[in-house]
Amino acid sequence: MPEHSSHISSKIQHVAIIMDGNGRWAESRNLPRTAGHKQGIEAARRVVTLAGDMGIPYLTLFGFSTENWNRPQEEVNDLMGLLRYYLKSETAELHKNGVKLCVIGHRQGLAKDIVSLIEHAESLTKGNDKLILCIALNYGGRQEILHTTQQLIKEQVAKGEVLDQNEIEEAFTSRLMTSGLPDPDILIRTSGEQRISNFLLWQCAYTEFVFLDTLWPDFAKEDLLKALEEYETRDRRFGSIKRSKIKIQKK
Whichever domain contains 29, its CATH number is 3.40.1180.10
Residue 75, SS3 per DSSP: helix
Give the model's pLDDT for residue 239: 62
Asked if residue 156 is part of any domain, the answer here is no
Rounded distance between C-alpha atoms, residue 63 and residue 53, angstroms: 22
Parent domain of 126: 14-140+184-231
Asked if residue 73 is part of any domain, the answer here is yes
Asked if residue 200 is part of any domain, the answer here is yes
Taking residue 41's Cβ as centre, other Cβ atoms within 10 Å add up to 18
**Number of domains into which the chain is organized:** 1
pLDDT tens track for 114-143: 999 999 999 999 999 999 999 999 999 999
Asked if residue 246 is part of any domain, the answer here is no
Rounded distance between C-alpha atoms, residue 88 and residue 82, angstroms: 10
Residues with catalytic function: 20, 68
DSSP state at residue 139 = E
Asked if residue 238 is part of any domain, the answer here is no
Higher pLDDT pick, 153 / 8: 153
Confidence band, pLDDT 50/70/90 cuts, at residue 236: confident
pLDDT tens track for 78-108: 999 999 999 999 999 999 999 999 999 999 9
pLDDT tens track for 208-227: 999 999 999 999 999 999 99
- The pLDDT of 54-59, averaged and rounded, is 96
pTM, whole model, 2 decimals? 0.89
Instruction: Calculate the CA dihedral of residues 48, 63, 103, 165 and round it to 10 degrees.
Output: 110
Asked if residue 237 is part of any domain, the answer here is no
Rounded distance between C-alpha atoms, residue 18 and residue 52, angstroms: 18
Confidence band, pLDDT 50/70/90 cuts, at residue 7: low
Asked if residue 122 is part of any domain, the answer here is yes
pLDDT of 238 strictly over 90: no
Rounded distance between C-alpha atoms, residue 218 and residue 147, angstroms: 35
pLDDT of 246 strictly over 70: no
Give the model's pLDDT for residue 241: 59
pLDDT tens track for 39-53: 999 999 999 999 999
Asked if residue 172 is part of any domain, the answer here is no
